[in-house]
Amino acid sequence: MAAGLPAGRTVTDSFLSSDGSQVALWVEHPTGDLELYRVPADGSALPEAIPSSLGLELFPLQLNSAGTRIAFVVSNQLFLATLAAGAPSVAVSSGLTPFYRFEFDAAAHGLVVLDGGDLVLHRFDGTIRVLNPGHPGGALQFALDPTGARAVYATEVRRGFDLTYDLWSVPLDGSSPAVRINTDEVGPTSSRFSPPELGLGLTPDGRTAVFSSLGRLLSAPLDASAPPRVLVDDPTRFTFAFTSLSFSDDSRTLVYWLNGLHEVPVQGGRPERRLDADDARLFHPDAFRVLAGGQSVLFLADPLAPEAHELFSAPLAHPVRGVPR
């Protein structure tokens, strides 16, 4: 795969497009700089450097769901490129602030960028749309609906002596204005984070947001058709945000990690349930996933020692005592 690269270049990593036709290569120069190369998976052409990618920042790189486009940052500039040979890279944004974020939306509208409080959709046809025109410079965090229809963003509000956060849901196609979905349920918090971590997640069906605040875990419909529903009320744990979460593919069940692995119905109706051992020895808080079909969750745990972690599966249909085996 590295054949045809200029002398002194070393491939440090690679990833395959979803259709299997193209491979993107992370290539390290003798100077230590990184650059993106693209090459057909069938080997029909030599690797070709993606313009403007020399000096890319490794971690902010994003690949769209179709595996055809890449977004990357070089020297505080955001670029968009395709994996097709010969396609130029295009500058999307320049002068990024330290707390920028960007994601491809699932419906292939374009690239959603949050920078300096502005949430902007950069469409692939070259047009742009500001998603928070009613709150210019005020967006602090965002999440994208997995169906590609909507975005949810947070704004900071001071109510009396309390610093709180509003959650807004807005369609990416501009068909209607943003609506507030949380009805005063987010905040206050005693500390200020940039950007804030609100423990926000959106269900796979694109209908519901789940978020934590004021000692509670809540769910709310993205269309604001009903008030938030309290799923868990525990001020000792939900002081600000939960760390990681995973939804079942039918959007009915949420599994989250907060000093242990827990399962709770997205629409409520029964209490949360602990899935791992009571001693909370989860090997990695991000190392769990609800499996297809929503019948069980797979997770890593270390019942003996951190260096002796094991893989477990916990059924979601009935209570589990201790560490499942």
Q: What is the pLDDT of residues 196-217, one digit of tens each?
A: 556 788 999 999 999 877 678 8
Measured distance CA(78)–CA(24) in Å, rounded: 18
Residues 6+ away with beta carbon under 8 Å from 281: 301, 302, 303
Which helix (H) or strand (E) is 84 found in, with range?
Answer: none
Per-residue pLDDT band at 121 (split at 50, 70, 90): very high
Which of 38-47, 105-114, 315-324 has the lowest average pLDDT? Answer: 315-324
Q: Tens digits of per-residue pLDDT, 27-70?
A: 999 999 999 999 988 888 899 999 999 999 887 889 888 888 99
Per-residue pLDDT band at 177 (split at 50, 70, 90): very high
Residue 186 confidence (pLDDT):
58
Residue 189 confidence (pLDDT):
47
Residue 293 vs residues 40, 204, 224, 267: alpha-carbon distances, Å: 35, 13, 28, 18
Q: Higher pLDDT residue, 284 or 120?
A: 120
Measured distance CA(68)–CA(159) in Å, rounded: 45
Per-residue pLDDT band at 294 (split at 50, 70, 90): low
**Res. 278: pLDDT tops 70:** no
Rounded average pLDDT over 226-240: 81
Give bridge partners of residue 120 from the DSSP assignment: 113, 130
Rounded average pLDDT over 168-185: 87
Residue 234 confidence (pLDDT):
82
- Average per-residue pLDDT for the chain: 81
* Residue 307 dihedral angles phi and psi, to the nearest 5°: -85, 0
CB-based contact 147:106 (threshold 8 Å): yes
Q: Tens digits of per-residue pLDDT, 124-172?
A: 988 999 999 999 999 988 999 999 999 999 888 776 666 677 899 999 9
Token readout for 323 is: 């560490």
Rounded average pLDDT over 70-74: 94
| Tokens 């700089």 belong to residue | 33
DSSP 3-state of 307: helix
Q: Tens digits of per-residue pLDDT, 296-313?
A: 777 666 555 555 556 666
Q: Tens digits of per-residue pLDDT, 217-227?
A: 889 999 989 98
Domain boundaries, the chain: 1-83, 97-241, 243-325
Rounded average pLDDT over 237-262: 78
- What is the architecture of the domain spanning 97-241? 7 Propeller (2.130)
